[in-house]
Structure 1
Amino acid sequence: MKRIAAGMAVILLAVTMFGPSDGYAKKTSVAEIDKQLKQLQQEVQAAKAAQEKADSRNQEAKHYKNKTTLNLDYVLGQIAQVKGEMTTISGKIASTEKSLTVTATELDDAEARVASREKLLESRVRLMYTDGAVSYLDVLLSSTSFSDFLDRADSLKMIVDQDQDLLVQHKLDKQTVIAKKQELEGQYATAKQLYTDLEAQRSMLKEKEAEKQELIAYYDEEIENSEVISAEQDAKLVELASSRSALEAQKDKLKAEEAARRAAAAKAEAQRRAALAAAKAAEKAKASKSSGGDSSSVASAEDYSGGDGPYLRPVGYARISSPFGYRTHPVTHEVGKLHTGIDFAVPQGTSIHAADSGTVVLAQWYSGYGYCVIIDHGGGVWTLYGHIREGGIKVSQGQRVERGQTIAESGSTGRSTGPHLHFEVRINGKPVNPMPYL
């Protein structure tokens, strides 16, 4: 919508920019016109400053958009990497859950063994408490024979070994239960931490991606706004140049009228003095009774060379590298972009000549044209000469130039891929094909 609004603004300005306003038309004093021209110059400087500021904002926004886009690509790469890590972590979580199941089973088995041994030990303690303590020596001495003694000794040893083994196993199972509990708690804690880390990474990356997308949208809006401002200032500069041209023409007309009045007055004064001198000479001749005297007069004429007829080629018959019409822009690569003039392929520093006589309405940097000269030839016809080298402009704003006069030197400033002259013919501000005019 903003681009459409900018386009409408440019069209409206183009419609109204040719021909001075009523205020300008009513000015009859050169001093008053100079005042208006000074005001126009201030407006031109303000418009140019606004355009330069908009262009600067545009370039800055594009720079930061490109930088943010690269950061977004990096974040998206991190997201892809984290997705891989998420798959690995999910596998670890599944493995941990399987280990938890095995550990729980082992823990149940160990607790069952401990409970069984605790019951056996409790029964033996109750038996010893009920029957009283029996000395191992009394058992051996009560043997009826040597073989009975050996049998009793073996039995006592088995009982002692069994009790000892029972106590050792009971102690080991107790330790196993404690270790398994600790391991189980550790595995649960690890699984919980894995889930927490995964969710934290996912949340962080989502925030970064949203932040980058928001910044890119902001810079896109900045670029669009600055382009709208630049287009508006372009149109305003053209409007101001047209008004300035009209004022300069009116000023020249006033100066010519004033010069004509002064010339007429000077001629009348010269005739008066000549008549007076002749009368004195006649009176002197009559007084001296002598004759003779010759007088001569000097006539002057003003020679004016008009600019009618086909226009001169500004750089002679140089090769045309790009004609008028639609094309793919060589710098921005925009498809279907109207090339509003023709390009002459000439080396850096080639002299550029005025296609016809007229008044310079612009001689400065002009947006994508780089350093540029525009000449008003009257009747709504302008010619434009773009991509002039830095320091190559040979005329100034408001200057009267003649057909074939050197006005600049070719270069490659502005949006240009190499040294050449971009030449336009504009009728009432609209670019037309220059070829029929050359």
Structure 2
Amino acid sequence: MKKIAAGLAALLLVATMFGPSDGFAKKSTVADIDKQLQKLQQEVKNAKAQQEKAASRNQEAQHYKNKTTLNLEYVLDQIALVKGEMSTTSSKISATEESLNVTATELADAEARVASREKLLESRVRLMYTDGAVSYLDVLLSSSSFTDFLDRADSLKTIVNQDQDLLVQHKVDKQTVIDKKKQLEGQYAQAKELYTDLESQRSVLKDKEAEKQQLIAYYDKEIRVTDDISEEQNAKLVQLASNRSLLEKKKDQLKAEEAARKAAAAKAAAAKAEAARKAAAAKRVASSGRSSSPSVPAYSGGDGPFLLPVGSARVSSGYGPRTHPVTGEVGKMHTGVDFAVPQGTSIHAADSGTVLVAEWWSGYGYCVIIDHGGGVWTLYGHIRQGGIRVNVGDRVERGQVIAESGSTGRSTGPHLHFEVRVDGKTVNPMPYL
């Protein structure tokens, strides 16, 4: 920004140095002005390089903003997807908690059964220890009769079967307790993993969303900065064109004065020679010497409204505030009128004048500016590459083909951007057409 301000200050100095004055015409020559025009052209090239750099930065920032916006949309879609997964996960956690409650109840029941049987086994062992060891054979041999023997055998069989069942059930319940404990631990671990995964997904998505929002804010700032540079460069374009117009006019004035001086000297010499050869015709020669010198005709600026530069064409965007079709900025000032025409359509000079600019200029792409005199210019933007048909300094006539339409610079498609400027400031072109 400081470089741009310094460049504008230098241009204002040039305008001061070459402003119209009596001393300027006396001290400057056409060669001097040509040198100044060359220096001015170098300033134009430098300004153009800065604009192209700013435009490149702007386009790059816009590209990455669009790309980041798409990534953000993807992240938001993922957030919506994860929300659905979170709902499913919450259902799984609820089911797991319910299973944990059921398992805890089954574990408590199994532990109660094991404890009860352990008490029974302890009482049986305690009884056998108290009464002494009595073998099953002793019980049978002490029978008083065969019937008593059979009764005792049945009783012993029942006791043995009960003891075996008790031991089997006790073993099964103990294994149930072990299995339920393992199942309980697994379910707790699963629930913990589900909660951990849920929080992890939330954290990652929040980080990604914040990152994308920061990037978009950064690129928005970059776009605003480069747009500001373009606005200042546009002001610089006006100043450069004004200085160039001033120098060209002064150059034409000096050429006209030089031509007048040469013509006067030639006439004086011819008059003197004629007087010497033909003394008898002195009066006629003297009369010839009093004839007026040729003068340079002044530019009149045309005798009617400007021509429509592309003939009959649809107006696709008028003059004034609008939503920018490329950046999407609301309320952006549209400094001209857009005519929707196909690529390569001939562009005609709206009126006669002198070409001030015929080259690339930032958002205008390739453009032509014509000075019609009286501080009135016309600008023709977005010309196709290779489509400029005039050069800086050329005199063009009303209706002359000066270029071909295109879509260079900041443009969404082929069209002609047409401006009318009065004293460097844009005005609504429609009343002039």
TM normalised by structure 2 equals 0.82
Cα gap change, 1:244 to 1:211, in 2 (>3 Å): same
- In the alignment, the residues of structure 1 paired with residue 351 and residue 83 of structure 2 have an alpha-carbon distance, to the nearest angstrom, of 70
Instruction: Indicate how the Cα distance of structure 1 residues 101 and 347 shifts in structure 2: closer, same or farther if over 3 A, else same.
Output: closer
Other-structure match for 2:167: 167
Distance change in 2, residues 1:416/1:156 (3 Å): closer
Distance 1:92-1:349 versus aligned 2 partners, 3 A rule? closer
Q: How far apart are residue 232 of structure 1 and its match?
A: 1.1
Aligned residue runs from structure 1 range 343-358, under 5 A: 349=344, 351-358=346-353
* Structure 1 CA distance for aligned equivalents of residues 177 and 342 of structure 2: 93
Q: CA deviation at 1:59?
A: 1.6
Match of 1:43 in 2: 43
Match of 1:21 in 2: 15
Please state if 1:424 is matched with 2:424: no
The separation in 2 between residues aligned to 1:222 and 1:422, in whole angstroms, is 26
The separation in 1 between residues aligned to 2:199 and 2:223, in whole angstroms, is 36
The aligned amino acid for 1:198 is L
CA distance in structure 1 between the partners assigned to 2:338 and 2:222 by the alignment: 32
Deviates more, 1:327-336 or 1:37-46: 327-336
Task: Tell me the distance in 2 between the aligned counterparts of 1:180 and 1:316.
Answer: 91
Counterpart of 2:265?
265
Q: Is the 8 A contact 1:318 1:344 kept in 2?
A: no
Tell me the distance in 2 between the aligned counterparts of 1:317 and 1:344.
8
* Equivalent position of 2:181 in the other structure: 181
Alpha-carbon distance in structure 2 between the residues aligned to 1:132 and 1:346: 121
In structure 2, C-alpha distance between the alignment counterparts of 1:54 and 1:154, rounded to whole Å: 109
Aligned partner of 2:283 in structure 1 is none
Kindly state the Cα deviation for residue 64 of structure 1 after the two structures are TM-superposed. 1.3
Is this contact kept in 1: 2:365–2:408, CA < 8 A? yes
Q: Deviations over 1:199-229 (max 9, x none)?
A: 1111111111111111111111111111111
Q: Secondary structure at the match of 2:356?
A: strand
Question: Secondary structure, in 3 states, of the residue corresponding to 2:372?
Answer: strand
Deviation of the 1:34 alpha carbon:
2.9
Residue 321 of structure 1, CA deviation: 2.4
1:346 is displaced (CA, Å) by 6.2
Alignment: residue pair count = 409
Instruction: Sort the Cα spacing of 1:106 and 1:307 in 2 relative to 1 into closer, same or farther, 3 A.
Output: same
CA distance in 1, matches of 2:430, 2:97: 83
| Helix, strand or coil at the partner of 2:359 | strand
Residue of structure 1 in register with 2:101 after alignment: 101
| DSSP 3-state at the match of 2:402 | strand
**AA paired with 1:425?**
V
CA contact (8 A) 2:310 2:346 kept: no
**What is the rounded CA distance, in whole Å, between the counterparts of 2:88 and 2:431 in structure 1?**
73
How far the C-alpha of 1:391 sits from its partner, in A, is 2.2
Moved more, 316-325 or 191-200: 316-325
CA distance in 1, matches of 2:133, 2:387: 126
SS at match of 2:211: helix
Q: CA deviation at 1:379?
A: 2.1
Gaps of 5+ in 2: 280-287
User: Using the alignment, how far apart are the partners of 1:122 and 1:324 within structure 2?
Assistant: 104
The 8 Å contact of residues 318 and 346 in structure 1, kept in 2 or not, is answered as no
Matched residues in 1 for 2:389 and 2:18: separation? 29
State the alpha-carbon separation in 1 of the partners of residues 33 and 95 from structure 2. 91
Give 1:387 deviation, angstroms: 3.8
Q: Answer yes or no: is the 8 Å Cα contact 2:382–2:407 preserved in 1.
A: yes
Tell me, yes or no, if structure 1 residue 362 matches structure 2 residue 389. no
**Aligned-partner Cα distance in 2 for 1:47–1:312:** 33
Contact 1:361 1:375 in 2 (8 A): yes
Question: Is the contact made by 2:307 and 2:349 (CA closer than 8 Å) also made in structure 1?
Answer: yes
Q: Which runs of 5+ in 1 are unaligned?
A: 3-8, 280-296
Cross-structure match for 1:393:
388
Change (3 A) 1:165 1:414: same
Partner of 1:319: 312
Name which of structure 1's ranges 236-245 and 267-276 shifts more when overlaid on structure 2.
267-276
Structure 1 pair 46–347 and aligned structure 2 pair: CA distance change class (3 A): same
**CA displacement at 1:347 relative to structure 2:** 6.0
The verdict on how the C-alpha distance between 1:200 and 1:129 changes in structure 2, with shifts beyond 3 A counting, is: same
Counterpart residue number, 1:237: 237
Aligned-partner Cα distance in 2 for 1:79–1:109: 44
Letter matched to residue 131 of structure 1: D
Report if the CA contact (8 A) 1:370-1:415 is conserved.
Answer: yes
User: Where do 1:47-58 residues align within 5 Å?
Assistant: 47-58=47-58
Shift of 1:318: 2.8
Q: What is the CA distance between 1:376 and its match in structure 2?
A: 1.4
In structure 1, the residue matched to 2:63 is 63
Give the match for residue 112 of structure 2.
112
Contact 1:386 1:423 in 2 (8 A): yes
Quick one: distance in 2 between partners of 1:150 and 1:264?
Answer: 168
User: Where does residue 284 of structure 2 map in the other structure?
Assistant: none
Tell me which amino acid in the other structure corresponds to 2:378.
Answer: T
Task: Provide the rounded CA distance (Å) in 2 between the counterparts of 1:339 and 1:104.
Answer: 75
Structure 1 pair 303–257 and aligned structure 2 pair: CA distance change class (3 A)? closer
TM-score, normalization by structure 1:
0.81
Which amino acid in structure 2 is aligned with residue 310 of structure 1? D
Check whether the contact 2:420–2:426 (CA below 8 A) recurs between aligned residues: yes
Once residues 125 and 316 of structure 1 are traced to their aligned partners in structure 2, the CA distance between those partners, rounded to angstroms, is 120
